[in-house]
Amino acid sequence: MNELISARVNALAESETLAMARRSRELEAQGHTIIKLNIGEPDFQTPEHIKKAAKDAIDAGFSFYTPVSGTLELRQAIAEKLQRDNGLHWKAENIVVSTGAKQSIANILLTLLNPEDEVIVFTPYWVSYSEIIKLAEGKAVLIAGSIENGFKVTAEQLKAAITPRTRAILYSAPCNPTGAIYSFEELEALARVIEPHPQIHVIADEIYEYICFEPSYTSIGSFDFIHDRVITINGFSKGFAMTGWRVGYMAARKDLALACDKLQGQITSGTCSIAQKAATAALKDLAPTYEMKDIYQKRRDLIVGLLGEIPHVHTIVPQGAFYAFPDLSHYVGKAHNGKVITSDDELAMLLLTEAHVAMVQGSAFGATNFMRISFAASDDHIREAIKRLKDFLVKLV
Ligand code: PMP
Ligand code: GLU
């Protein structure tokens, strides 16, 4: 522990998704060929119409600070999108554009939480949720969906977890890491549990919305009786293959939007002006987004089939996002070269250093002995990675 670093930052864990990316880069620098299925990042190029809008913006000299919450043009386009796709009735004044969904989640948690306030987090959860809650001095209360229920939590579980200190509920759907999506009926049941508790807000992270393999997608904010208590998080990284452009957003009640605007105004201001022009163009043509989705769906089928050929590995079929999340518990506790593998962390490290495949251990997402495998990669990489995984696992004794 470094005493020159604040207790706040000392207490934070490094993002495991980013840590695995760092470790695989280190091995690559030593000359190894690593198949990287660790990071949640589209392998596609940003679509042409989006790139063109950015180039045009540079040429037009669109290089000044924008409003903290984003340009009016982009916020209006987002408000229209939310009305059209999600049944959410927000205006531009309810939207706060940020430097990625990650920042939007941090903005709203810092805005809602006082020390010791509780946030109910649906588990498995995305790595950064627990750490951002910690940063905001809140307490994450984890409720876990069972694999039998497709990793989804039930209304009964939610009801049992609510206490007088509960201030928010936080989940992603499609879920990172499981790909689970809540149906209309399941969301309505969850929303009914929250309805009688005016102090509880729902933070719905919908960043994988456009990578949805189901016929329809429901946003929890579309239920009128809780609409004003839902904070919808979304962004351009995943559906538009724009991870490096850094544009995300939040849609929420005006008091919350204003509070997040104030917070963001003291930390980062508005995100990149050029990237905002690109994001505005992105929302005008979704054809490339749906083409990418169709390709992810074929890869999903490929990886689920290949994982099914490994003995004792159980995987649910992801309904969205681009992650498979197999249960590898049969293999944790077995030995490699005479040394027992005691945890999924160790297994992920051995897969990296011995089999040269990068994946992220389930414990980083609150689900021990699972492994998150991104299928935002070519068919050849998926085939080779799962072959390496299988060859490694079946040799363990
Ligand atoms: N939420 C989830 C569930 C994610 O997987 C990610 C991954 N980047 C984010 C939020 C943050 O996205 P970004 O900051 O790139 O918009
Ligand atoms: N969300 C991605 C992931 O889960 C990107 C990495 C990150 O921002 O943590 O891998």
The domain spanning residue 354 has which CATH number? 3.90.1150.10
- 286 within ligand 2 shell (Cβ under 6 A): no
Q: At residue 61, what is the residue type?
A: G
182 in Cβ contact with 222 (< 8 Å): no
- 38 within ligand 2 shell (Cβ under 6 A): no
DSSP 307: H
Cα(17) to ligand 2 centroid in Å equals 6
Note whether residue 81 is domain-resident. Answer: yes
**Looking at residue 36, what is its pLDDT?**
94
Asked whether residue 58 falls in the same domain as residue 34, the answer is no
Note whether residue 180 is domain-resident. Answer: yes
Asked whether residue 100 falls in the same domain as residue 246, the answer is yes
| Closest CA to ligand 1's atom 7 | 40
197 in Cβ contact with 150 (< 8 Å): no
Note whether residue 164 is domain-resident. Answer: yes
Ligand nearest, relative to CA of residue 359: 2
Q: At residue 300, what is the residue type?
A: R
172 in Cβ contact with 248 (< 8 Å): no
**Looking at residue 226, what is its pLDDT?**
97
- Distances in whole angstroms, Cα of residue 169 to Cα of each of 177, 229, 306: 17, 11, 35
Note whether residue 323 is domain-resident. Answer: yes
Ligand nearest, relative to CA of residue 180: 1
| Closest CA to ligand 2's atom 5 | 40
Is it the case that residue 2 has pLDDT exceeding 90? no
Asked whether residue 274 falls in the same domain as residue 350, the answer is no
Q: Which stretches of 60-216 are assigned E, i.e. beta strand?
A: 95-98, 118-123, 139-144, 166-172, 201-205
β-pair partners for 168: 119, 201
**Looking at residue 318, what is its pLDDT?**
98
Phi/psi region, residue 203 (left: phi>0; alpha: psi -120 to 50; beta: rest), is beta
pLDDT tens digits along 149-162 = 999 999 999 999 99
Band (176; pLDDT cuts 50, 70, 90): very high
Note whether residue 2 is domain-resident. Answer: no
Asked whether residue 316 falls in the same domain as residue 335, the answer is yes
Domain boundary pick from 267, 285, 303: 285
Cα(271) to ligand 2 centroid in Å equals 19
- 123 within ligand 2 shell (Cβ under 6 A): no
**Looking at residue 14, what is its pLDDT?**
83
Domain boundary pick from 285, 309, 335: 285
- 39 within ligand 2 shell (Cβ under 6 A): yes
Asked whether residue 62 falls in the same domain as residue 210, the answer is yes
Q: Which domain holds residue 348?
A: 7-45+288-394
Which atom of ligand 1 lies closest to the CA of 243? 15
- 248 within ligand 1 shell (Cβ under 6 A): yes
Q: How many domains is the chain built from?
A: 2
Q: Which residues contact 98 (CB under 8 A, 6 or more apart)?
A: 104, 107, 247, 248, 249, 250, 264, 268, 271
Q: State mean pLDDT over 51-73.
A: 98
Asked whether residue 30 falls in the same domain as residue 156, the answer is no
Q: State mean pLDDT over 105-121.
A: 98
Cα(210) to ligand 1 centroid in Å equals 13
Cα(179) to ligand 2 centroid in Å equals 14
Ligand 1 pocket test, pick from 97, 102, 322, 325 with the greatest ligand atom count within 8 Å of Cβ, gives 102
- 21 within ligand 2 shell (Cβ under 6 A): no
**Looking at residue 15, what is its pLDDT?**
82
